[in-house]
Amino acid sequence: MTSLDKPTATDHDSAGPDGARAAEAQDAKAVTEAALFEAFGGLRGMVETVLPGLLFVTIFTINKDLHVSAIAALAVSLLLVAVRLIRRDTVKHAFSGVFGVAFGVVFAMMTGNAKDFYLPGMIYTLGLAFAYIVTTLAGVPLIGLILGPIFKENLSWRTRNPGRKKAYAKASWAWGLILLAKCAILFPLYWWADTTQLGWVLVALKIPPFLLAVYLTWVFLAKAPPPIDVFAEMDAQEKAEKERKAAAAAQRDA
């Protein structure tokens, strides 16, 4: 964003209180969008999530060869990590994809059932759904634990920002229920459908539920109070303490 695109303090003041509030709300939405992009990987993260499974089901649909399909999926996951390492990008999303694919490959190879390539990921999704719901019921919604450090608020929202805690709770409920709905579709297919049917449905359900959950999170947080920057507070306290000590030393010298 250039200086022409970004509203300045003068622009806010000249627009009056209503304009300043609107500008602050717009800035809050932009910050929320950036945090969600960082937390969930953005477009590139979605591609890295979908591509291995898509390659697996495509190859298996063509030749019904479990070994070739599994090795191809694992190879493309490793390639995605290598590309990120070469470009010196963050690798957390790519690495999580590699581990997920590796578990699926090992499980499918052990059982000899190609459908088991998808089972570890399905179990993880179910566990994650319950994690969102249980942590929300316990008063520490998981989405707040994920996004708190990114917003530089850590856990301050739990006791000092009730409006933000409520938004995190709503977002965590959204994630939990959306993932449960996804599992309600996939697990019956695991038992009743063949590998290709399950694979294509799973690929189709990778992105839409994720985008819906991210969108609802953005809606809830964009309307919530701004985060409390605990790092800025600590810096301010440290600076004030240094100034106090310097003043005390100067007074003693005088």
Higher pLDDT, 51 or 32: 51
- Residue 204 CA from chain centroid, whole number: 19
Nearest to 69 by CA among 77, 58, 79, 80: 58
As a whole number of angstroms, the distance between CA 231 and CA 10 comes to 27
What is the DSSP-derived secondary structure letter of residue 115? G
Contact assessment for residue 124 and residue 182, using Cβ atoms and an 8 Å cutoff? no
Residue type (1 letter), 223: K
Provide the pLDDT for residue 241.
74
Predicted TM-score (pTM) of this structure: 0.78
As a whole number of angstroms, the distance between CA 90 and CA 138 comes to 32
Provide the pLDDT for residue 17.
55
Nearest to 220 by CA among 50, 29, 72, 47: 29
Contact assessment for residue 88 and residue 135, using Cβ atoms and an 8 Å cutoff? no
Residues 106-157: tens digit of each pLDDT: 989 899 899 999 999 999 999 999 999 999 999 999 999 999 888 888 899 9
Provide the pLDDT for residue 165.
95
- Mean pLDDT of the 46-60 span: 87
Any idea which of 9-18, 97-106, 123-132 has the lowest mean pLDDT?
9-18
Provide the pLDDT for residue 16.
55
**Residue 17: both structure tokens together:** 């209180």
As a whole number of angstroms, the distance between CA 157 and CA 143 comes to 12
Residues 182-231: tens digit of each pLDDT: 999 999 999 999 999 999 999 999 889 998 999 999 999 988 898 888 87
Provide the pLDDT for residue 6.
39
What average pLDDT does the chain have?
Answer: 83
**Residue 54: both structure tokens together:** 């898509």
Residues whose CB falls within 8 Å of the CB of residue 107, separated by 6 or more in sequence, listed in order:
116, 117, 119, 120
Question: What percentage of the chain has pLDDT greater than the value 90?
Answer: 43
Provide the pLDDT for residue 244.
80
